[in-house]
């Protein structure tokens, strides 16, 4: 067991800040979201089994959410075992805002101003700038429709400190109860779509945070396991081929009507619950080998190319739909008329270029500027600790 007086040798490597393969996994998830949107807008998603699989790559969002759950919950899980201290709430919110808002606001302003069909009245502007699209009818506009998931993720960011506080109040910092509680909340959240909640026209409550808690919960459970003692789950994580097969089977099932009809038809509540459960299984199975076993074995996901795509993944996410919408008129392609691989190649190349520019000109300068401002203001001074407390050191995974 890990005690509160850890030596450097007793702190598990998974408790350290940077896991290179997670950045690679985030890059793959961003490309998955891009592929699914290209599949829908070229009509490939309605072309048979393979097309339906391309369309179901929207489950890459489950990987995004699980990665956020893991990286942001890990400091709280480590604190419960006496091997770390999370950021202060103020510094945590500042870091989240710095990571999300500058590049996002630049994208929203430019897309609403210059992308044909993306403009709108003040409600569209305010809802998109305020990340309230899932609550305000008809504000998910052209080039920005993918931002519903960012709205959900930001809600998770905002409420995470409150959830951590409530967990401490309910069960203290006892690691014994944390996993059952996280699993219980995740299972309970599968009933969200069945609850009759009145909403305005074009607003669906299954697009709100509670419906996606199982995806975040998959990552949070992994965070608890990563900082804890070795269990059968750690041994299972070494069977990467088996877990990859589990993820593959879950994905195949998600491509059937069990997880909802083909296309953008809204699923029944039971189909929605199955899709969410399958997404949690997929994300857990893909991420577990990255965080519950030796990090040095993940050569592809930690390769320079994968790390570069991971570094630009946020820019890929926020810009790719605008790029895709521009590809059709610029290259003389009619939407929903095929040319899937041609449009995909163009969209990937151009989106990577825009994303790299976003990282270099907006994201990284914003991070550096806020870091300097924090130092001048002495915000979030490092917690007292020693070399055995690596969780308090700066981490470089995107969500930290």
| Residue 17 token pair | 């800040």
Q: Which of 137, 8, 157, 10 is nearest to 71 (CA)?
A: 157
Q: How many CB atoms lie within 10 A of CB 8?
A: 10
Contact 128, 108 (CB under 8 A): yes
Asked if residues 151 and 133 have their Cβ atoms less than 8 Å apart, the reply is yes
pLDDT at residue 173, as a whole number: 61
pLDDT for position 167:
86
Q: How far apart are CA 245 and CA 247, in angstroms?
A: 5
Is-contact 216 230, C-beta < 8 A?
Answer: no
Helices (H), 133-268: 147-171, 175-189, 213-226, 232-237, 240-254
DSSP states of 146-157 as a string? Answer: THHHHHHHHHHH
Question: What pLDDT score was predicted for residue 384?
Answer: 45
pTM recorded for the entire structure: 0.91
- Per-residue pLDDT of 153-187, as tens digits, reads 999 999 999 999 888 877 656 667 889 999 999 99
Residues of the chain with pLDDT under 50: 1-9, 382-395, 400
Distance CA 389, CA 72 (A): 17
Sign of CA dihedral 280, 284, 286, 291: positive
Whole-number pLDDT of residue 79: 87
Is residue 392 a contact partner of residue 84, using CB atoms and an 8 Å limit? yes
Give the DSSP letter string of 323-334.
HHHHHHHHTT--
pLDDT at 297: 61
Tokens standing for 76? Answer: 């709280």
What integer pLDDT is reported at residue 398 of this predicted model? Answer: 59
pLDDT number for residue 338 = 86
Q: Own/partner pairs for 255-260, CB < 8 Å, 24+ apart?
A: 255/49, 255/52, 255/53, 255/56, 259/56
Nearest to 72 by CA among 95, 49, 90: 95
């Amino acid at each position: 067991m890990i005690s509160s007086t850890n030596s450097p040798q007793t702190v598990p490597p998974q408790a350290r800040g940077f896991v290179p393969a997670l950045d690679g996994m985030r890059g793959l998830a961003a490309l998955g979201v891009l592929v699914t949107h290209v599949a829908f807008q070229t009509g490939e998603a309605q072309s048979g089994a393979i097309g339906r699989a391309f369309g179901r790559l929207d489950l890459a969002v489950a990987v995004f959410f699980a990665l956020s759950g893991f990286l942001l919950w890990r400091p709280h899980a480590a604190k419960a075992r006496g091997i770390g201290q999370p950021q202060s709430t103020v510094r945590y919110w500042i870091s989240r805002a710095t990571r999300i808002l500058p590049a996002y606001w630049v994208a929203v302003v430019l897309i609403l101003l210059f992308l044909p069909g993306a403009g709108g009245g003040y409600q569209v502007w305010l809802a998109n700038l305020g990340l309230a699209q899932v609550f305000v009818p008809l504000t998910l506009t052209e080039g920005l429709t993918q931002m519903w998931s960012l709205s959900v993720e930001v809600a998770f960011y905002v409420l995470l400190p409150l959830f951590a506080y409530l967990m401490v109040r309910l069960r203290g910092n006892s690691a014994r109860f944390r996993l059952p509680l996280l699993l219980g909340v995740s299972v309970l959240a599968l009933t969200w779509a069945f609850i009759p909640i009145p909403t305005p026209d074009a607003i669906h409550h299954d697009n709100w945070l509670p419906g996606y808690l199982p995806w975040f919960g998959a990552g949070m459970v992994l965070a608890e396991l990563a900082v804890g003692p070795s269990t059968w789950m750690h041994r299972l994580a070494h069977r990467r081929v088996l877990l990859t097969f589990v993820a593959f089977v879950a994905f195949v099932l998600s491509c059937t009507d069990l997880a909802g009809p083909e296309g953008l038809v809204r699923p029944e509540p039971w189909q929605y619950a199955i899709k969410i459960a399958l997404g949690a299984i997929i994300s857990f199975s893909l991420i577990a080998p990255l965080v519950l076993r030796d990090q040095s074995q993940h050569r592809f996901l930690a390769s320079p190319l994968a790390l570069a795509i991971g570094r630009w993944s946020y820019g890929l996410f926020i810009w790719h739909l605008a790029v895709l919408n521009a590809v059709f008129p610029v290259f003389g392609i009619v939407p929903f008329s095929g040319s899937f691989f041609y449009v995909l190649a163009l969209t990937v190349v151009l989106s990577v270029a825009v994303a790299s520019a976003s990282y270099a000109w907006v994201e990284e300068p914003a991070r550096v500027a806020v870091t300097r401002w924090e130092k001048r203001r002495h915000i979030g001074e490092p917690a007292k600790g020693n070399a055995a407390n690596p969780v308090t050191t700066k981490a470089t995974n995107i969500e930290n």
